[in-house]
């Protein structure tokens, strides 16, 4: 039995068992490896994708649950010509990734947050960004999200330099 859905705007047919996790259908059937396997129990968020605009952890979503739905992976965020989104550009500008493994899931979670809450507070970010980053880049993630939202705090003023006495 084939499962029909849209992935990154294109119709696809998955010829897998209905209980196959969406993550494996994306990676193995479609060859899209940007969505990562992390834990397999929907705890870490490395496998985050959007399903009908909602961020979901694809390792725990059976393929049968996405029949007729629209799925966006990290590969589908950028423009058809490869143009990066403002969020992806901010990720680069703020040097968010260290090892980079969790970052596609982090970006997908951040994109879902910004779609619902265009000007998130730190509390909004903390509530939405539940993905795990073993490298601890959370401050950079927050800065990148604020940058895209236009809510970045103004840089601190440079300390005044003391006057020097010419000797």
Reported as a single tens digit per residue, the pLDDT across 28-51 is 999 999 999 999 999 999 999 999
pLDDT digits (tens, 9 = 90+) for 51-87: 999 999 999 999 999 999 999 999 999 988 989 999 9
Distance, CA of 97 to chain centre: 12
Note the pLDDT of residue 152: 56
Give the integer Cα–Cα distance in Å for 80 and 10.
Answer: 12
pLDDT digits (tens, 9 = 90+) for 118-131: 999 999 999 999 99
Note the pLDDT of residue 164: 45
Closest CA to 150 of 129, 120, 116: 120
pLDDT digits (tens, 9 = 90+) for 128-156: 999 999 999 999 999 999 999 986 544 43
Q: What is the pTM of this model?
A: 0.88
CB 47 within 8 A of CB 59: yes
Give the integer Cα–Cα distance in Å for 89 and 146.
Answer: 13
Note the pLDDT of residue 161: 42
DSSP string, 13-75: EE-S-TTSBHHHIIIIIH---SSPPS-SSSSS-TTEEEETTEEEEGGGSBGGGGTT-EEE-GG
């Amino acid at each position: 039995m084939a499962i029909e859905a849209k992935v990154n705007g294109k119709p696809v047919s998955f010829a897998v068992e209905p209980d196959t996790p969406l993550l494996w259908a994306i990676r193995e059937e479609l060859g899209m490896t940007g969505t990562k396997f992390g834990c397999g129990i929907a705890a870490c968020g490395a496998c985050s994708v959007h399903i009908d605009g909602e961020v979901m952890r694809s390792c725990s979503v059976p393929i049968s649950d996405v029949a007729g739905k629209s799925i966006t992976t990290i590969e589908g965020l950028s423009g058809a010509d490869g143009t990066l989104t403002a969020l992806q550009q901010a990720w680069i500008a703020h040097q968010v990734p260290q090892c980079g493994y969790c970052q596609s899931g982090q970006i997908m979670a951040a994109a879902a947050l910004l779609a619902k809450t265009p000007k998130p507070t730190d509390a909004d970010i903390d509530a939405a960004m539940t993905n795990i980053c073993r490298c601890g880049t959370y401050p950079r993630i927050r800065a990148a999200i604020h940058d895209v939202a236009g809510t970045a705090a103004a840089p601190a003023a440079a300390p005044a330099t003391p006057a020097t006495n010419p000797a």
